[in-house]
């Protein structure tokens, strides 16, 4: 018996035939540049659907990838949801296992601009992790750019993320969780506040208090990746340690000064009472 993804694919195929979107299984296969005999094997449960066949079917017939992978949502995307949908380019091993694509900092501006170019993705480094949770779904890792997420994440850290399908943004993005946000011009790591239902925006919240929160509109969003793990190559630099130590000392001095003023006020009050 074929796997559950293949079973859902068969249901989508059958629905297309019932609705007369395709005349026959043969016509369906040919429209996807696939051998009718091989499709027949899938429909009979003798083999599983391939990733490439799924890609072509999703792109041509607007099959909902969330339904295919999880069983949630409608079988097919509407024109509205399809506007923001794009088939992700991935890298796979010869055993058809999907690898984690890494986007280094020098490539991030190009990544934001060239999302639709599969050849760009193929040139990026890719690797695998032993944990089973990274074997299910599509994952990417990104270098953390800049110091906006210090002291939680430092420049040079890498975050390993899982892809969040656009149809799940409104319900799936959780307030104050960390995400990699890919816009039309940039890649940033931020905690977020989900305002999609209210104003079709996300509020991006830096950890470093030197930076101000900002909002990005839904129209500017291209990809969202949920941060699941951090890979850090080193401890904070001495400069960062000195800066944070200086900040802590400044706060401590301010606290001591306030307490000293309170003691002086208390002493003055006691003196006034003793004179009466």
Give the distance between the most distant pair of CA atoms in the chain: 106
| Of 1-15, 174-188, 193-207, minimum mean pLDDT range | 1-15
Q: What is the pLDDT of residue 265?
A: 79
Full residue range of the structural domain in which residue 64 is found: 4-82
The mean pLDDT of 93-116, rounded to a whole number, is: 87
pLDDT in tens, 138-194: 899 999 999 999 989 999 899 999 998 887 888 889 999 999 999 988 999 999 999
| Spatial contact of 180 and 159, defined as CB atoms under 8 Å apart | yes
Same domain, 139 and 217: yes
What CATH number did the domain enclosing 38 receive?
1.10.260.40
pLDDT higher than 70, residue 244: no
Per-chain mean pLDDT for the chain:
85
Same domain, 213 and 250: no
Number of domains observed in the structure of the chain: 3
Question: Would residue 197 count as lying in a domain?
Answer: yes
Secondary element (H or E) of residue 276: none
Q: What is the pLDDT of residue 1?
A: 47
Question: Would residue 239 count as lying in a domain?
Answer: no
The SS3 assignment for 259 reads helix
Same domain, 217 and 256: no
Same domain, 257 and 150: no
- Higher local confidence (pLDDT), 174 or 59: 174
Same domain, 212 and 250: no
pLDDT higher than 50, residue 215: yes
The mean pLDDT of 16-20, rounded to a whole number, is: 94
Nearest 10 degrees: Cα torsion 256, 262, 263, 266: 180
């Amino acid at each position: 018996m074929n796997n559950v993804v293949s079973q859902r694919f068969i249901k989508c195929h059958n629905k297309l035939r019932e609705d007369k979107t395709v005349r026959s299984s043969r016509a369906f296969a040919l429209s996807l540049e696939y051998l009718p005999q091989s499709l027949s094997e899938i429909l009979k449960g003798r083999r599983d659907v391939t990733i490439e066949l799924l890609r072509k079917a999703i792109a041509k017939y607007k099959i909902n990838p969330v339904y295919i992978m999880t069983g949630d949502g409608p079988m097919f995307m509407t024109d509205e949801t399809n506007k923001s949908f794009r088939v992700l380019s991935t890298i796979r091993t010869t055993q058809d296992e999907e690898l984690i694509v890494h986007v280094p900092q020098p490539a991030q501006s190009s990544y934001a601009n060239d999302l639709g170019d599969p050849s760009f993705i193929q040139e990026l480094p890719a690797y695998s992790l032993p944990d089973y949770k990274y074997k299910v779904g599509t994952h990417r890792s990104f270098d953390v750019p800049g110091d906006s997420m210090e002291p939680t994440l430092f420049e040079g850290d890498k975050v390993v993320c899982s892809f969040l399908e656009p149809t799940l943004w409104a319900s799936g993005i959780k307030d104050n969780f960390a995400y990699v946000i890919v816009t039309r011009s940039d890649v940033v790591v931020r905690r977020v506040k989900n305002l999609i239902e209210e104003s079709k925006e996300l509020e991006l919240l830096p950890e470093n208090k030197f930076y101000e929160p900002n909002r990005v509109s839904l129209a500017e969003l291209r990809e969202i990746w949920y941060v699941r793990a951090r890979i850090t190559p080193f401890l904070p630099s001495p400069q960062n340690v000195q800066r944070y130590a200086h900040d802590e000392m400044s706060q401590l001095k301010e606290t001591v000064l306030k307490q000293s003023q309170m003691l002086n006020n208390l002493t003055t009050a006691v003196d006034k009472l003793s004179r009466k």
